[in-house]
Amino acid sequence: MDFSGKTVWLVGASSGIGEALARALHEKGAHLILSARSEAPLVALRAELGDHHRVLCVDVADRESLSHAEASLGPGSLDAMITTAAIYDPGRVADIGLEAAEQLLIVNVMGTLAFAKAAPRLLRKGGMLGIFGSVAGYFGLPKGQFYSASKAAVINLAQTLRVEYAPQIDVRLISPGFVNTRLTQKNDFDMPFIIEPDEAASAILHGLQSNRFEVHFPKKLTYGLKVLQMLPYWASLRLTKRMN
Ligand SMILES: NC(=O)c1ccc[n+]([C@@H]2O[C@H](COP(=O)([O-])OP(=O)(O)OC[C@H]3O[C@@H](n4cnc5c(N)ncnc54)[C@H](OP(=O)(O)O)[C@@H]3O)[C@@H](O)[C@H]2O)c1
């Protein structure tokens, strides 16, 4: 998609990759609806980028909040909808509390599904729906966090919607490797090939301007993990056992 003059609803614009993506889309001439739960960073971003952008606070995990936001956007009024909204709780799957796990599923999976379900009404025909997975969802790794399982669900959801929504909606899956944001600042391990949010935003924009379903980066990391995914379990599990 050429984003010049397009109206894009971007959830997750208050921080990290979403904030960098908002700046990159603004540079391309898009009209943005900037969303997240926290209002102050969105208002500051709009002050920086210009009043032709709009701030719309939403919590994708809260149905009432999402319905309210949807109602304020007219049917067929958007060219693209993108959500980066997710939460992250590092730690071993074996150690996570069930309440924390449930919250992860509610935001990362149910929030993405609820946002995606609004797409047929809000997008014009041929509009784009961008969903954020993660390379963490490619394969279950030891110490891989329950977050990884939530992202595996999001990847599966995007694959299904890509076909179910075609040709009316162009569904895209965005799979970042490590990006330096508040989310990864929680990690206490080495993060190979980590990049800055503006590099991620430029890779995303480049990918969304092509026709590819999945936008994944950096390739040095993503291709290695894709190979792991394709191996038979006797080989892949032998490799992941070494990481334990
Ligand atoms: N950073 C990485 O290395 C990395 C790697 C792979 C995938 N990803 C994925 O990339 C996406 C962005 O991650 P990030 O690193 O940029 O994280 P981030 O800096 O924490 O940004 C997350 C954004 O989502 C918003 N958000 C969280 N919960 C929300 C909710 N319930 N409703 C609406 N908005 C919500 C946050 O704003 P509020 O808190 O104000 O709501 C924030 O704007 C996520 O989907 C993440 O899983 C990141």
pLDDT at 147: 93
Instruction: Indicate the top mutation candidate among 9, 10, 11, 15 to test ligand 1's pocket, ranked by most ligand atoms within 8 A of CB.
Output: 15
Cβ–ligand 1 contact at 18 (below 6 Å): yes
Domains, the chain, in order of start with CATH, read 7-241 (3.40.50.720)
Give percent of the chain above pLDDT 70: 100
CA-wise closest residue to 111 among 151, 79, 75: 151
Mean pLDDT for the stretch of residues 105-126: 97
CA 206/CA 185 separation, integer angstroms:
26
Q: Is 40 a pocket residue for ligand 1 (Cβ < 6 Å)? A: no
Task: Give the pLDDT of residue 62.
Answer: 97
| % of the chain with per-residue pLDDT over 90 | 89
What local confidence, expressed as pLDDT, does residue 203 receive? 98
For atom 37 of ligand 1, the residue with the nearest CA is 36
pLDDT of residue 145: 81
Q: How far apart are CA 217 and CA 223, in angstroms?
A: 9
Residue the block writes with tokens 């040095």? 220
Mean pLDDT of the chain: 95
pTM: 0.96
186-201 per-position pLDDT tens digit: 888 888 999 999 999 9
pLDDT tens for residues 35-52? Answer: 999 999 999 999 999 999
For 48-96, what is each residue's pLDDT tens digit?
Answer: 999 999 999 999 999 999 999 999 998 999 999 999 999 998 888 888 8
Whether 209 is in the pocket of ligand 1, judged by its Cβ within 6 Å, is no
Residue 226: pLDDT over 80 = yes
pLDDT score, position 171: 98
Q: Are 135 and 176 in contact (CB under 8 A)?
A: yes
Average pLDDT (19-48) is 98
Which pLDDT score is estimated for 242? 86
Q: Of all helices (H) and strands (E), which one includes residue 80? A: strand 78-83
- Ligand 1 center–CA 70 separation, angstroms: 20
How would residue 123 be classed by pLDDT, with cut points 50, 70 and 90?
Answer: very high
Q: Which residue has a Cα nearest atom 32 of ligand 1? A: 59
pLDDT at residue number 85: 98
What digits encode the pLDDT tens for the residues 138-166?
A: 999 877 689 999 999 999 999 999 999 99
141 CA to centre of own chain: 20
* Average pLDDT for 125-147: 92
Could you give the residue numbers annotated as active site?
147
Ligand 1 midpoint to CA 234 (Å): 34
Beta-ladder partners of 54: 33
Of 5, 4, 6, residue with least CA distance to 126: 6
Cβ(14) – ligand 1 distance below 6 Å = yes
Tokens found for residue 85: 């909204």
Residue-level pLDDT at 189: 83
What's the pLDDT score for residue 190?
Answer: 86
What is the pLDDT at residue 125?
Answer: 95
